[in-house]
Amino acid sequence: MKPISLKEIANITGASPTTVSLVLNGKGRISEAVRQKILQAVKDNGYEPNRIAISLRTGHSNVLGVIVDDIGGPFFGALAKIIEVEAEKFGFRIIYCSSENNLEKARELISMLSHQLVDGYIIMPVPGLQDEILNLKANHKPVVLIDGYYPELDIPHVLVDNLNSVMQGMSCLIEAGHRKIGFVTVDIDLIQIKERLRGYFESLKKFNLKADDKLVLKLPYQMDKGKAVQAVKDLFGSNRDMDAVFFSTNYLGIIGIESIQELGLSIPKDIAVICFDDLEIFRLLPPGISSIQQPVLEIGRTATDLLLAMLGKKKNHLQTDKITIPANLIIRGSIKAINVPKFVE
Amino acid sequence: MKPISLKEIANITGASPTTVSLVLNGKGRISEAVRQKILQAVKDNGYEPNRIAISLRTGHSNVLGVIVDDIGGPFFGALAKIIEVEAEKFGFRIIYCSSENNLEKARELISMLSHQLVDGYIIMPVPGLQDEILNLKANHKPVVLIDGYYPELDIPHVLVDNLNSVMQGMSCLIEAGHRKIGFVTVDIDLIQIKERLRGYFESLKKFNLKADDKLVLKLPYQMDKGKAVQAVKDLFGSNRDMDAVFFSTNYLGIIGIESIQELGLSIPKDIAVICFDDLEIFRLLPPGISSIQQPVLEIGRTATDLLLAMLGKKKNHLQTDKITIPANLIIRGSIKAINVPKFVE
DNA sequence: GGGGTAAATGAAACCGATATCACTTAAAGA
DNA sequence: TCTTTAAGTGATATCGGTTTCATTTACCCC
């Protein structure tokens, strides 16, 4: 019960494989009579071309590779859907992979994908992956980075405007009267994370508040959750006058909320909270956790369009291939104007 | 800068393509000298075989197709990871796809995957897909269903024990003293959903409580969220004496919580809540939403192992290929023993 | 009618691997 | 010494398409 091949269609119709191929691809000039006969035979026999054979011969697979840090994560869900929708319009399929922010794993994935003859890549940067990316570029394999980029490399990328989003959020806290603002982030060499921290310091400077390193907590990447919760609790413990806290990722936000719950603190009375990257839970959790919502759909769509343009499938309407997209600041109950004595400006 | 081919390795070493192939696959008997020379050339030139060519020739791709309802959903995240881990041990790659519980889409996906020469399938059943599944079976393509199955078909499947899990949860509510228990579910022709509803009625029968259809709400599949929230609010409105509610999916649980929040009801004082399928949010949301946690990892691992066994890659230690796995009942603050007068048994 | 041209089609090479089968040695057995 | 036999290797077909190039046919024009 093997599927029928093009050659068999040729035999059935009395045409040559060449002719059948030409008809199927709408190329060449084939008489209407022959065309119809072939098309009919194709239909009657439920013939569909073998993609593998096509890939082997043509050297391209109509498959895009997408490498994200965590295929189970909340960022990925929305992303996958929009990438798929955009790519499908041009007949592209997607292979998704998780790098888990692990360099070795990411390397293997790229190697694996390239031997599957993947036509293009959407990659979430992993520290140290620069050489592999350059290698892809050298081999004329189009790559678009999302969610981050390598400052030293000239590779197209699409990501949220981390710096300004954080500054917006910080403004909001400061204008609500908060002065002792903590910042919890993760210690990983990713530009997007560094930019968020920079946004924190820039905001303090902008409002003439002095930075205090004791208010900044950098947790090791992939730290055990229990330990992370404890570390955040310690941050609160050693900074009793801290009146607001900024979490630089949604994962950290969850950890932070657990810490706050365990300490029995009340949001926003004891502490105001804002978190980078929204989650459904932030909306549902009383009093609502304010957040900076990433425009995931737009990032995904833009990245895919960019990639398709590089593949020559689509015209590129954008002037640049290094794109930052503004985020949405979502203010919920976790930030409330506090009583600020008038003399404190 | 095309990647180097096996033939070129043959030229470099002066061996024939056959010999190189045999060495690479550890087949045949090749003298150690030749073997080493070939291996060295492979290493020096960074040769890696072209998977596409291998697939074409051998007829299998070492790729598994996984079709779930929603690739962005919470069930999928954990599932994907474990499937990947298990499959990788045997050199299999995965292609993930979303059916969105849409029959037409699911059909296309199967067609697409089969033309990519996918070796085996893990599929979350979609109503009406029976013929396509049977067709795969007829073509000797192994299929394992997860999270549900088709009662009329003899196809291997792995899923949680829906009936008994619900009955456990119900027992817990009833033993806590609840008598007027609502059940919110979705109107879709999936065995797992029907079994949950059956579990509800069976429990009532078991405890000699009379069933009341007014306490059961079946929402249309993929109903607009706002409307769904309203429908649940209406359920509460027209059943003032309802003292507990069971949500048959985590998605419905979220909707239910929003309804309860909007109505200003207090959990568990006004209403006890339990939900099928755990979410992180249920743990964090005060007072903690009780839930029935699916053993996702075990389902994923079992399904993959079953599939690999069918592919002859692994011995099957299980006696059957129709497997149900017990769930974990997680009791949180959303259920509390209420004051039951002694004379009510 | 011969020559030129374009339309319509086919033969065969090719993509990069594997599989079959044949061939060459060298060692073992008669 | 002459087979036998097995080890070691290579030539070639093959998977299912696409692509290049050649060929046939029909038509047109001088």
Q: Which residues of A touch B261 (CB under 8 A)?
A: 284, 286
Residue from the list A93, A112, A117 with its beta carbon closest to the beta carbon of B52: A117
A→B interface, C-beta within 8 Å: 1, 3, 48-53, 55-56, 61, 71-73, 76-78, 80-81, 84, 93, 95-96, 98, 111-112, 114-117, 138-140, 254, 257-258, 261, 280-281, 284-286
pLDDT of residue B344: 39
Q: Do B200 and B320 fall within a single domain? A: no
- Cis peptide upstream of residue A268 (ω within 30 degrees of 0): yes
Q: Are strands A290-293 and A328-330 parallel, antiparallel or unpaired?
A: antiparallel
A301, A290: one domain: no
User: Are residues B270 and B303 located together in one domain of the fold?
Assistant: no
Question: Is the confidence at residue B342, as pLDDT, over 50?
Answer: no
Determine the structural domain holding residue B281 and report its residue range. Answer: 162-294
pLDDT at B264 > cutoff 90: yes
Claim to verify: residue B210 and residue B304 sit in the same structural domain: no
A49 interaction partners in chain B (CB closer than 8 Å): 115
With a cut of 50, say whether residue B341 has pLDDT above it.
no
Quick one: B100 exposed, middle or buried, by C-beta within 10 A (0-12, 13-18, 19+)? middle
Q: Pick B285's closest partner by Cβ from A73, A84, A284.
A: A284
* Selection from A97-101, A166-170, A268-272 with the highest mean pLDDT: A166-170
- Three-state SS across A17-63? HHHHHHHHHCCCCCCHHHHHHHHHHHHHHCCCCCHHHHHHHHCCCCE
Q: Say yes or no: A202 and A309 in one domain.
A: no
Phi-psi sector, A341: left (phi>0), alpha (psi -120 to 50), beta: beta
A326's tokens: 């503004």
Q: What is the pLDDT of residue A342?
A: 44
Q: Are residues B10 and B76 in the same domain?
A: no
| Mean pLDDT (chain B, rounded) | 92
Q: Nearest residue of A to residue B1 by CA position? A: A139
Instruction: Report, as an integer, the average pLDDT of A279-292.
Output: 93
What's the rounded mean pLDDT across residues A221-245? 95
Is the same domain home to B81 and B138? yes
* Residue B343 pLDDT: 40
Residue A54: the pLDDT is 95
With respect to residue B339, please indicate whether it lies within any of the assigned structural domains.
no
Greatest mean pLDDT range, A86-90, A195-199, B86-90: A195-199
What does the block give as tokens for A7?
């050659």
Whether B36 and B80 share a structural domain? no
A331 within some domain = no
Whether residue A193 is found in the same domain as residue A250: yes
Look at A42-51, A230-239, B313-322 and tell me which has the smallest mean pLDDT. Answer: B313-322
CATH number, position B250:
3.40.50.2300
Residue B334 lies in a domain: no
Partner-chain contact B53 A56, CB within 8 Å: yes
Q: According to the model, what pLDDT value does residue A1 have?
A: 65
3-state DSSP call for residue B65? strand
Domain count, chain A: 3
Q: Which residues of A touch B93 (CB under 8 A)?
A: 95, 112, 116
Instruction: Look at residue B332 and tell me if it is in a domain.
Output: no
Closest protein residue to D13 using CA and C1' atoms?
Answer: B57
Q: Quick check: is A237 in a domain?
A: yes
Q: CA–CA distance from B243 to each of B185, B206, B288, B337 (Å)?
A: 17, 19, 17, 12
Q: Which nucleotide is nearest to A31 (CA to C1')?
A: C8
pLDDT digits (tens, 9 = 90+) for B51-83: 999 999 999 989 999 999 988 888 888 899 899
Nucleotides of D under 7 A from a protein CB: 7-20
Each residue of A77-135: pLDDT tens digit? 889 989 988 998 898 988 888 898 899 999 988 988 888 789 999 999 999 999 999 99
Quote the CA–CA distance of A270 and A88 in Å, as a whole number.
49
Kindly state whether residue B218 falls inside one of the protein's structural domains. yes
**Whether residue A144 sits in one domain with residue A108:** yes
Look at residue B183 in the predicted model and tell me its pLDDT: 98
The answer as to whether B252 is a domain residue is yes
Q: Give the HSE-up count for residue A233: Cα atoms under 13 Å, Cβ half-sphere.
A: 14
In this predicted structure, what is the pLDDT of residue B345? 39
Average pLDDT over residues A272-282: 95
Q: Reply yes or no on whether the pLDDT at A7 is more than 70.
A: yes
The pLDDT assigned to A312 comes to 85
Residues B235 and B259 in one domain: yes
Question: What CATH number should be reported for the domain holding residue A16?
Answer: 1.10.260.40
* CA dist list (Å): B333 to A122, A176, B268: 43, 34, 7
Contacts of B226 (CB under 8 A, 6+ apart): none
- A212 lies in the same domain as A318: no
Q: What is the mean pLDDT of residues A281-305?
A: 94
The residue type found at B218 is K
Query: Which residues, in sequence order, are CB contacts of A43 under 8 Å at separation 6+?
Result: none
Closest CA to B252 of B280, B219, B227: B219
CB atoms inside a 10 Å sphere around CB A133: 22
Whole-number pLDDT of residue A113: 87
- Which uninterrupted H or E stretch holds A303? helix A296-310
Smallest Cα distance from A203 to chain B, Å: 31
Identify whether A344 is part of a domain. no
Q: How confident is the model at residue A314 (pLDDT cuts 50, 70, 90)?
A: confident
Lowest mean pLDDT: which of B75-79, B188-192, B307-311?
B75-79
Whole-number Å distance, CA B319 to C1' C3? 80
Span A229-258, mean pLDDT?
96
- The overall average pLDDT reported for chain A is 92
Using the predicted structure, report yes or no on whether residue A345 has a pLDDT greater than 50.
no
Instruction: Please report the DSSP string for B176-222 in residue order.
Output: TT--SEEEEEEE---HHHHHHHHHHHHHHHHTTPPP-GGGEEEEETT
Query: What is the edge-to-edge ordering of all strands in the sheet holding B120-123?
Result: B93-98, B63-68, B120-123, B143-146, B157-160, B322-325
CA-based nearest residue to A213, from A237, A181, A190, A191: A181
Question: Which pair of structure tokens corresponds to residue A174?
Answer: 């400061």
A20-24, A251-255, B87-91, B162-166, range with the lowest pLDDT? B87-91
